[in-house]
Amino acid sequence: MGTMLGTTLPDVDVWSERVTVALGQNPGLFTGPGTNTYLVGSGRRRILLDTGSGADAYPDVLARAMQRAGCDALQEIVLTHAHVDHLGGVAQVQARWGPLRVSKLPDPEDAPALGFAPLADGAVVRTEGATLRAVHTPGHATDHLCFILEEEDALFSGDNVLGIGTTVIPSHGGDLLDYMRSLERMLALSPRRIYPAHGPLVEDGAQKLREYIAHRDARERQILAALAQGDAAIAAIVKRVYVDVPEALHAAAGHSVAAHLGKLEREGRVRRLDARAPLEAVWSRA
Ligand SMILES: [Zn+2]
């Protein structure tokens, strides 16, 4: 998820000899042009990586993508994480292509009825022409997996890196400290391309990861500077730090500042002067 208004992508596109994308038909403020669902491999049966949100128009688009990719069946479904814009299409894909296995990193909040097969950090999923290796990368969601496509040194980044814009760290399940560690882990893999869950493909993955890290680091320095200048409430910090951002977006900015303060608190660099929730609390440098 990320804000990416104004970006459009074709419904079906071939991004490499082993990667074809079918757009989830679920455009929106947080999904941009919609979720990228990927057919991975080069054989008759492909892995489907993520399934979109369950939009009525999606199965026909996926069928067209399979035709375009030159395959006639799905081997199995693999999910980056349990947000609805990634797993919401599982039922309709299974209704059309049969009871395929669905794998993801187990999470206590997963509905048992969905019967996911467990996929651990480091697990490998193979198909003809492609090898996917799972990398646990929490921060946007606790159960988030990225996948290395070994044949291309490419990375399916899920929602951790987007083709345009920045990733949302939700107050439920999100954790900015975990997220920053995940970005470092992804960078250490030195991916060439990044295939994101939303937005266009990223040709220089390592560079994009460095940009993401630098962006968050700069924001953190601004927030610490605002605290040093006496701002104690998130509203005041937002006013100072997001001076160029329209006021309509200040509520969203407040959530982002709260995520930063939560990270800094875990690191012992700021403290909460009262027991209120992050958004309402009074903050100071430690
Ligand atoms: Zn997500």
Find the CATH number of the domain harbouring 93.
3.60.15.10
Distance 187 CA to ligand 1 centre (A): 20
Single-letter amino acid code for the residue at 247 = E
Single-letter amino acid code for the residue at 65 = A
Q: Could you tell me the sign of the dihedral formed by the alpha carbons of 143, 166, 30, 189, in that order?
A: negative
Rounded to 5 degrees, φ, ψ at 180 are -65, -40
Question: Quick one: pLDDT at residue 248?
Answer: 87
Distance 140 CA to ligand 1 centre (A): 7
286 close to 269: Cβ distance less than 8 angstroms: yes
Stretch among 112-116, 207-211, 223-227 having the lowest mean pLDDT: 112-116
Single-letter amino acid code for the residue at 130 = A
Domain co-membership, 65 together with 189: yes
- Domain-ending residue, one of 154, 175, 203: 203
Question: Quick one: pLDDT at residue 28?
Answer: 86
Total tally of structural domains belonging to the chain = 2
pLDDT > 60? residue 4: no
Single-letter amino acid code for the residue at 159 = D
Q: Is 209 part of any domain?
A: no
Residue-averaged pLDDT of the chain: 94
Distance 168 CA to ligand 1 centre (A): 8
The residue with greater pLDDT, 173 or 152, is 152
Distance 235 CA to ligand 1 centre (A): 26
Domain co-membership, 145 together with 281: no
Provide the total of helices (H) and of strands (E) in the chain, helices listed first: 7, 14
Q: Is 7 part of any domain?
A: no
Q: Could you tell me the sign of the dihedral formed by the alpha carbons of 227, 232, 238, 244, in that order?
A: negative
Q: Is 1 part of any domain?
A: no
Element at 266 (helix H, strand E): helix 250-266
Chain position carrying tokens 């990733």: 167
The reply to whether the predicted model has a pTM over 0.85 is: yes
Domain co-membership, 20 together with 81: yes
Distance 30 CA to ligand 1 centre (A): 9
Domain co-membership, 30 together with 116: yes
Distance 31 CA to ligand 1 centre (A): 9
Domain co-membership, 219 together with 96: no
12 close to 23: Cβ distance less than 8 angstroms: yes
Distance 98 CA to ligand 1 centre (A): 26
Rounded to 5 degrees, φ, ψ at 109 are -90, 0
The rounded percent of the chain whose pLDDT value lies above 90 is 85
Domain co-membership, 58 together with 179: yes
Question: Quick one: pLDDT at residue 32?
Answer: 87
Domain co-membership, 36 together with 172: yes
Q: Is 280 part of any domain?
A: yes
Distance 178 CA to ligand 1 centre (A): 15
pLDDT > 60? residue 263: yes
C-alpha–C-alpha distance, residues 187 and 172, integer Å: 25
Domain co-membership, 229 together with 113: no
Question: Quick one: pLDDT at residue 1?
Answer: 35
Query: Which residue range is the domain that position 271 belongs to?
Result: 215-285
Q: Is 113 part of any domain?
A: yes
Distance 143 CA to ligand 1 centre (A): 10
Which DSSP state fits 245?
A: S
pLDDT > 90? residue 8: no
Distance 286 CA to ligand 1 centre (A): 32
Distance 78 CA to ligand 1 centre (A): 15
Find the CATH number of the domain harbouring 220.
1.10.10.10
Mean pLDDT, range 142-161, rounded to an integer: 98
Domain co-membership, 130 together with 86: yes
Among 43, 65, 41, 61, which Cα is nearest to 53's? 61
Using alpha carbons only, how large is the chain's radius of gyration in Å? 20
Distance 29 CA to ligand 1 centre (A): 13
Question: Quick one: pLDDT at residue 260?
Answer: 96
Distance 7 CA to ligand 1 centre (A): 18
